[in-house]
Amino acid sequence: MLDSMRLLSQCMLFSGLSEEQLAELYGITSKRCCRRGAVIFREAEAGIGFYIIASGKVKVFKTSPEGKEQILHIFGPGEPIGEVPVFHGQPYPANAAALSEAELYFFPRQRFVALLEKNSSLALNMLAVLAMRLRRFATQIEHLTLREVPGRLAMYLLYMAREQKNMQQVALDIPKGQLASLLGTSPETLSRIFQKMSEEGLIQVEGKRILLLDPEALAER
């Protein structure tokens, strides 16, 4: 229980809450273990609650009528998924599946809303997370609609470098096929772009490690 509460306290959604409040939150959760590829929820299913990722990675994605998958985002430990229906009670707006073995904490909607109603700090944290998500998706839409694929890849590498606090290199934590879907392209096109950027001296690919040889030039793509 102590490890679980420590994880909850490190989640942005629950930052600043007292031990008593965290214990109250923990009291309404249930833990779920998912194998790689397991579906967590599907688009249009009833939004009965949301999840906090304890370990592993989860992709949130849409699927076209033709079956083409577009990854909207990839989330890791400490991040919530499926939280939007908490407020309006509508179905989940996208699908979610585990990219690796994952452990999740499930928060049922009705019991969580009851806690929100009596805890203004929790409500404000929830709004902050939703605002951050909105900015993130707005940036992603901009990259997907206003930039060609090389520019999308360049922006993703620079974003990951900032996230990993190392502007010299990036460690890819997802397969390149998943990265292609995230960037709205095919694996073959992505491989060609990696090769071209390497030939131009912008990057150096060493398996899952990407050396950023010229970050300034990448930012101009």
Tell me the CATH number at 4.
Answer: 2.60.120.10
Number of Cβ within 10 Å of residue 123's Cβ equals 14
Tell me the CATH number at 171.
Answer: 1.10.10.10
Position 41 scores a pLDDT of 96
Position 90 scores a pLDDT of 85
**Cβ-proximal residues to 187 (8 Å cutoff; 6+ apart), any chain:** 176, 177, 180
pLDDT over 80 at 50, yes or no:
yes
List pLDDT tens digits, range 51-71: 999 999 999 999 888 888 888
Q: What percentage of the chain carries pLDDT values higher than 70?
A: 93
Task: With beta carbons less than 8 A apart as the criterion, state whether 75 and 98 touch.
Answer: no
pTM of the model: 0.72
Asked whether residue 213 falls in the same domain as residue 120, the answer is: no
Asked whether residue 118 falls in the same domain as residue 66, the answer is: yes
Count the domains in the chain: 2
Q: What is the maximal distance between C-alpha atoms in the chain?
A: 58
Q: Could you give the CA distance from residue 177 to residue 76 in angstroms, rounded to a whole number?
A: 18
- Which of 92, 112, 140 is at the close of a domain? 140
Q: Could you give the CA distance from residue 38 to residue 58 in angstroms, rounded to a whole number?
A: 10
Asked whether residue 62 falls in the same domain as residue 162, the answer is: no
List pLDDT tens digits, range 88-98: 778 999 999 99
pLDDT range class, residue 5, cuts 50, 70, 90: confident
